[in-house]
Amino acid sequence: MEQLRLKQRILEGKRREALNKIFVIKGSITVFCRIRPFVLAEKRRVSEPVSVGSERVLVKYGGTRKDFEFDKVFTEAASQGYIFVEVEPILRSAMDGHNVCVFAYGQTGTGKTFTMDGTKEHPGIIPRALEHLFHEACTGNSSYTFSMSMLEVYMGNLRDLLAPRPNSRSYEPMTKCNLNIQTDPKGLIEIEGLTEVQVSDYAIAKWWYNKGRRFRSTSWTNVNEASSRSHCLTRINIFRHGDASEAKSQLSRLWMVDLGGSERLIKTGAKGLTLDEGRAINLSLSALADVIAALKRRRNNKLTQILKDSLGDGSKVLMLVHIRPSEEDVCETITSLNFAKRTRAVVSNKEVTMELKKQRDKNITELEEEVKETEKQLQNIRDEIKNAEFNLNKSKKLFSTTHSFTENDEVETCINPKDDVKKITETAEECKKYMKSNLSNSGPRFMNPTVASRERQNAVERDSIGLRSKNLRSIVTRSSVQFPCSQSLSYSDIRVKALLQSSKGKSRHIAAETNAVLTERTNALESKTLNPKSMIVTSSDTSLRIRLCHHRRRMSDLI
Ligand SMILES: Nc1ncnc2c1ncn2[C@@H]1O[C@H](COP(=O)(O)OP(=O)(O)OP(=O)(O)O)[C@@H](O)[C@H]1O
């Protein structure tokens, strides 16, 4: 097992390294583009301005053609599952200790919430990622713990979406608004007072996630029935506790962000508060654009402040830009694609010569092959470990079955506690009878006392034996359990009798009190000669202790 685990560690290191190299070559920002399909209610135009390839989007606009290149383009037919497969490597990177930010960007109504959150039938990236994290946490050598927070940036303020509410009704005001953002000595961003819940499994994480998203601000607009009026941020803190060789645990952060839609305010028909919300979203989105374009230079904006540690050096960013391929949205489409292109080009230096690009692609393909191959080997090792664990458990079970069989065997011979009490009483009676008959008829006839001698004898005995009569009675009627080390428990002891007879509802006390009486009487009874015919449950072997233990347990089971 140790050898297998060592092999697994080495392979995990190799896979981590290869994956990281891919991100270095690709650049710290990966940009995917998703095209939203037409839904039934929408009129489909005959001529569509957008055509797509696997990595390209071409937009025809006013007699011109604009070409955009991305790391991947998902057509209208792409399923949620298919998209998630492409997101998985960056999640792996978060598990490996990198800060990661996945965010959905685009015009309002283009499907950002659908991609990040999804529906019950078509879950999006966030619920799938939660499931994936817990699944991955079980497969490797390291152990993981997770905590979760959710907040929204609404009209320039932060709202804690997981904060406890005065009551569960959704229209109750939030208890925690406008939280402060601080930077800790290690450069990590801390949001003062933000609720952070420990999530030990997927079901709990999903429960909290559903709770948080219910409280997100949405309104109806001309473009989207349930338009998100804020940026919604889900943060998973990943604590990786390595094996013995890695002394301290490592914290990495995974942010999954559903940004509010950039919008042309006239088109959305927004008024009053909804209009203000739209303005606030546009403002923070343009700040985000600035931040991503020049990672070091930031406007003092809540959204960019929060994401600071996950957009900087060493962190990985995945941006999913969303577009709708209709004629009427062509201006917004070009704006969004321009933003995505600028981001990709500036941050990852992706505008390179054809030759360099070819070399880069070749390297990436080789590394991806290496990751795949290592994954395969890792899977084999995992299977081997599983097999070994299975065999080990089988042996353990076999051992414990054999062991418990012996015990059970003994338990079977053990008397039912109720029978015990009955037998004890019966035995005491028998003993009395036996002693009576034997004591009175133990000598030859001529030695039997006469009436006068009996009276004399009685008078003497009344004085001398009077004081010991209790003891004598107890000896006469005694039936006892003898224990190893000469311990014996007299059932005729009135305390034990009382305990046994009032056993209903008090069995635990019986066990304890019987023990106390037992200890107390041990020395006293040790030296006394016991009648050989008295009922003695004797055992010189150590298993009696087990039996008694069972006996007590079973007494309590009866109640
Ligand atoms: N790929 C898709 N397949 C099917 N339906 C989709 C898809 N993308 C989006 N939709 C549907 O389009 C509508 C708008 O999508 P969604 O609310 O996700 O947009 P959004 O970009 O989040 O908008 P906003 O910025 O206003 O919140 C929803 O009814 C959603 O179910």
350-368 tens-digit pLDDT = 455 667 777 777 888 888 8
User: pTM of whole model > 0.90?
Assistant: no
Q: What is the three-class DSSP state of 189?
A: strand
For β-strands 316-323 and 29-35, DSSP reports them as parallel
Question: How far, in Å, are 32, 300, 435 from residue 294 at the CA level?
Answer: 20, 14, 105
Contact 215, 196 (CB under 8 A): no
Ligand 1 atom index nearest CA of 224: 26
Tell me whether residue 198 is annotated as binding. no
The residue to mutate among 33, 34, 39, having the most atoms of ligand 1 within 8 angstroms of its beta carbon, is 39
pLDDT band at 123 (very low <50, low <70, confident <90, very high): very high
The per-residue pLDDT for range 172-206, each reduced to its tens digit, is 445 456 667 777 777 677 888 889 999 999 999 99
Nearest CA, atom 26, ligand 1: 227
Above 0.85 for ipTM, yes or no? yes
292-318 mean pLDDT: 65
Rounded to the nearest angstrom, the gap between the alpha carbon of residue 218 and the centroid of all alpha carbons in its chain is 31
179-188, 407-416, 445-454: least confidently modelled range: 407-416
Measured distance CA(419)–CA(427) in Å, rounded: 12
CA of 130 to the centre of ligand 1 (A): 21
CA of 83 to the centre of ligand 1 (A): 15
Nearest CA, atom 11, ligand 1: 111
For ligand 1, say whether the CB of 228 is within 6 Å of any of its atoms: yes
258: Cβ contacts below 8 Å, ≥ 6 apart: 103, 104, 112, 113, 116, 117, 228, 231, 232
Write the DSSP symbol of residue 264.
-
86-95, 126-135, 276-285, 529-538: least confidently modelled range: 529-538
The per-residue pLDDT for range 257-302, each reduced to its tens digit, is 888 766 554 555 555 555 565 555 565 555 565 555 544 444 456 7
For ligand 1, say whether the CB of 15 is within 6 Å of any of its atoms: no
For ligand 1, say whether the CB of 113 is within 6 Å of any of its atoms: yes
Q: What is the mean pLDDT of the chain?
A: 69
At the fourth CATH level, the homologous superfamily of domain 28-164+173-348 is Kinesin motor domain (3.40.850.10)
Tell me the backbone φ, ψ of residue 131, rounded to 5 degrees.
Answer: -60, -45
Structure tokens at 489: 């428990």
Domain extents for the chain? 1-24+353-413, 28-164+173-348, 416-558
pLDDT, residue 122, reads 94
222: Cβ contacts below 8 Å, ≥ 6 apart: 267, 268, 269
Nearest CA, atom 10, ligand 1: 111
Residue 134 has pLDDT above 80, yes or no: yes
pLDDT band at 236 (very low <50, low <70, confident <90, very high): very high
The residue with greater pLDDT, 231 or 203, is 203
Tell me the backbone φ, ψ of residue 253, rounded to 5 degrees.
Answer: -120, 140
Minimal CA–CA distance to 325: which of 70, 48, 42, 41? 48
CA of 327 to the centre of ligand 1 (A): 18
The per-residue pLDDT for range 505-535, each reduced to its tens digit, is 444 443 444 444 444 444 443 444 334 333 3
